[in-house]
Amino acid sequence: MTATLGTTRPGPQRLPAAIIALGLASLFNDIGTEMIFPLLPAFVASLGAAPAFLGLVEGLADATSSLLKLASGYVAEGRSKKRIVLLGYGLASSVRPLVALATAPWHVLAVRVTDRVGKGIRTSPRDALIADSVPKEQAGRAFGFHSAMDHAGAVIGPLLGTGLLALGWQVRSVFWFALVPGILAMLALFTVREPKPPAVVARASGRAGPALPSSLRRYYGVLALFSLGNSSDAFLLLRAKDLGVRVVAIPALWALFNLAKVLSARYGGAWSDKIARSKLIVAGWGVYALTYLAFGVANRAWQVWLLFVVYGLYYGLTEPAEKALVRDLAPAEARGRAYGFYNFVIGVSAVPAGVLTGWLWQTWSPLVALATGSALALVAALTLARMSFARTAGVM
């Protein structure tokens, strides 16, 4: 990115040190998480739990995380966001390796839910801290960098866990080793220098924070519409298996998918600083709609590998731009609440999305389920495109 996008210096514009540190924290944290997560289904089964119990574990974990993302956004206004982020990462990093001590399924449930509590505490304040640390013209690149680091952890973590198992480590030893990237994540966070946000001034003077603008609330509405069709990626892995991808190849497919997300997020964030963010989101949702439909009509295993790469592009086009658009629309002193609602809307929509897709999958067919997600994405994209036009005209 050159000086024309917000700096008077010649040459590439560097991201602030705080953004780099937050990205490294996310990288190390996700390495620790993804070392453990792929091993949990077999581990829980070895403790005598039925598959339904694993669904209960993940459902409770995600529900808890979604509620806390909303609450922590409120708490972050007028307070040190860095301290809340440290608390969230610290809780997750310290409790995650304790799954190695589990001797009953409910032990895994307790650890997993507590881990997600940490995620819920940190996510919205972290997003607001990223937004506070960069000017508008760098927001997309900052969120793109952070997403890329996050997805890189999802590539490295499973590969590291697999490598340790191949060296003869026991599963519980791999769980204990997850403490190491957690410590590295905390060390990166301690280097972050937090800018003093306008919210501190507003609360100190006794004034309540401003209401979120109607344009932002309408944006949440269209995000909820899209999210209703954005079911768990586990359905796509199930589709891959149905189309002939061998179980032993699934980790490699997942790593390839996350690698595509790393590359696309890195460049997608920068693009959203150069063109209208809403246009990039509409394009990304269009890619999602086409890819989901293609997953439904695919009939060969090799097609799955190509589709997962294309599906990774959707993440890069949308994740950084969606978060940067929240920054554009929200008052600076209300960013904690703004990101709290953003993360809550996406998280809470995952439950009905999963139920709807699962019901259609089982009652009708994978094609019907995936085509429904495609249709909802297309409607959301058209709605957002119309909203963007209205906003340009001064209506939104």
Instruction: HSE, CB side, 13 Å, CA atoms: give it for residue 202.
Output: 17
pLDDT of res. 56? 62
Domains of the chain: 13-392 (1.20.1250.20)
CB atoms within 10 A of CB 281: 28
pLDDT score for 254: 81
pLDDT > 70: what percent of the chain? 87
For the question of whether the overall pTM of this predicted structure is more than 0.85, the answer is no
Instruction: Let me know the angle formed at the C-alpha of 273 by 153 and 288, rounded to the nearest 5 degrees.
Output: 60
pLDDT for 108 beyond 70:
yes
The tens digit of pLDDT for each residue in 272-289 reads 888 889 999 999 999 999
pLDDT tens digits, 14-27: 889 999 999 999 99
